[in-house]
């Protein structure tokens, strides 16, 4: 009889429960490997295996680290992003009718006419880029000055501000982004106003980016505009 040889193999894919990465390593003649290959054992990631054992999901918020719990059937947006409710509110930003930046942008949007696309020469593009950079630097300086002046409003819990990737680090974030403020020519004083600032975990800030729409603000009181379906 010829000798039987076994091989150490790795199989991976998406978790059948939450679509996260799943993998298994073992010998191809082993009981678990054969069960995964045959489909008799569900392909679940470690988080879902633990949830099946505990009867609920237990995981830390990716933003602030607070411990979170969720039922097995609750696999909504909150769990997929792994942010707690406070970090989700920071992610979208909160609607404040007294935010001078928001007021300026809403007024500018209401009167702004659709302009023809302009093609700038390279010198003009370079000049605009330098002007936008100076604008952003001034807004950031004024924003940090307001943070030092009003720490009890912006940072009541005394979170430590740090760079991206720093454990427990927080960023000073603009609810209406600096790029949007530049687009609508918001004065630097308004863009750096306390009501347009929030201290949030660095990962939440990076996840926000600068493409958040005003209609996504938490508490947005106006009806959202829906795109009209095209006729084929």
Q: Are residues 124 and 202 in the same domain?
A: yes
- Output the tens digit of pLDDT for each of the chain's 232 residues: 444 567 888 888 888 877 778 888 888 888 888 888 888 888 888 878 888 888 887 878 888 988 887 765 555 555 556 788 899 899 999 999 999 999 999 999 888 654 455 666 788 888 999 999 999 999 999 999 999 999 999 999 999 998 888 888 999 999 999 999 999 999 999 999 999 999 999 999 998 887 788 999 999 998 876 655 444 4
Residue 22, in any domain of the structure = yes
Q: Are residues 12 and 102 in the same domain?
A: no
- Rg, Å, the chain Cα set: 25
Q: Are residues 99 and 204 in the same domain?
A: yes
Q: Are residues 99 and 17 in the same domain?
A: no
For the range 11-18, what are the long-range contacts, defined as Cβ-Cβ under 8 Å and sequence gap of 24 or more? 11/36, 11/37, 13/43, 15/43, 15/44, 15/45, 15/47, 15/48, 16/42, 16/43, 16/44, 17/42, 17/44, 17/45, 17/48, 17/51, 17/75, 18/45, 18/47, 18/48, 18/75, 18/79, 18/80
Residue 52, in any domain of the structure = no
Residue 51, in any domain of the structure = no
Structure token digits, residue 213: 């729409």
Number of structural domains the chain divides into: 2
Q: What is the pLDDT of residues 100-155, one digit of tens each?
A: 999 999 999 888 654 455 666 788 888 999 999 999 999 999 999 999 999 999 99
Q: Are residues 212 and 98 in the same domain?
A: yes
Query: How many Å apart are CA 79 and CA 69, to the nearest integer?
Result: 9
Residue 68, in any domain of the structure = no
Name 21's bridge partners. Answer: 14
Q: Are residues 138 and 40 in the same domain?
A: no
Residue 225, in any domain of the structure = no
Residue 98, in any domain of the structure = yes
Give the Cβ contact number of residue 199 at 10 Å.
Answer: 21
Q: Are residues 40 and 102 in the same domain?
A: no
For 81, what's the count of Cα atoms within 13 Å in the CB-facing half-sphere? 19
Q: Are residues 125 and 211 in the same domain?
A: yes
209 within 8 A of 179, measured Cβ to Cβ: no
pTM (2 decimals)?
Answer: 0.72
Q: Are residues 195 and 101 in the same domain?
A: yes
| CA-CA-CA-CA dihedral for 110, 111, 113, 117, to nearest 10 | -90
Query: How many Å apart are CA 38 and CA 28, to the nearest integer?
Result: 12
Residue 137, in any domain of the structure = yes
Q: Are residues 189 and 99 in the same domain?
A: yes
Residue 17, in any domain of the structure = yes
Can you give the residue range of the structural domain that contains 128? 94-111+119-216
């Amino acid at each position: 009889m010829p000798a039987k040889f076994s091989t150490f193999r790795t199989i991976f894919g998406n978790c059948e429960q939450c679509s996260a990465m799943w993998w298994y390593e073992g010998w191809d003649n082993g009981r678990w490997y054969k069960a995964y290959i045959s489909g008799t054992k569900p392909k679940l990631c470690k988080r879902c295996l633990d949830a099946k054992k505990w009867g609920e999901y237990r995981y830390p918020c990716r933003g602030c680290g607070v411990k979170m719990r969720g039922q097995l059937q609750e696999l909504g947006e909150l769990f997929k992003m792994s942010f707690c409710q406070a970090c989700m509110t920071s992610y979208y930003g909160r609607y404040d009718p007294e935010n001078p930046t928001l007021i300026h942008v809403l007024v500018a949007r209401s009167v702004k006419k659709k302009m023809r696309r302009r093609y700038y020469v390279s010198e003009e593009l370079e000049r605009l880029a330098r002007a936008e950079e100076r604008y952003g630097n001034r807004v950031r300086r004024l924003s940090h000055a307001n943070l030092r002046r009003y720490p009890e409003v912006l940072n009541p819990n005394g979170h430590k501000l740090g760079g991206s990737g720093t454990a427990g680090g927080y960023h000073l974030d603009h609810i209406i982004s600096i790029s949007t403020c530049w687009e609508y020519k918001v004065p630097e004083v308004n863009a750096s106003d306390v009501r347009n600032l929030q201290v949030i975990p660095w990962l939440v800030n990076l996840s926000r980016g600068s493409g958040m729409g005003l209609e996504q603000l938490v508490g947005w009181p106006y009806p959202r505009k829906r795109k009209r379906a095209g006729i084929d």
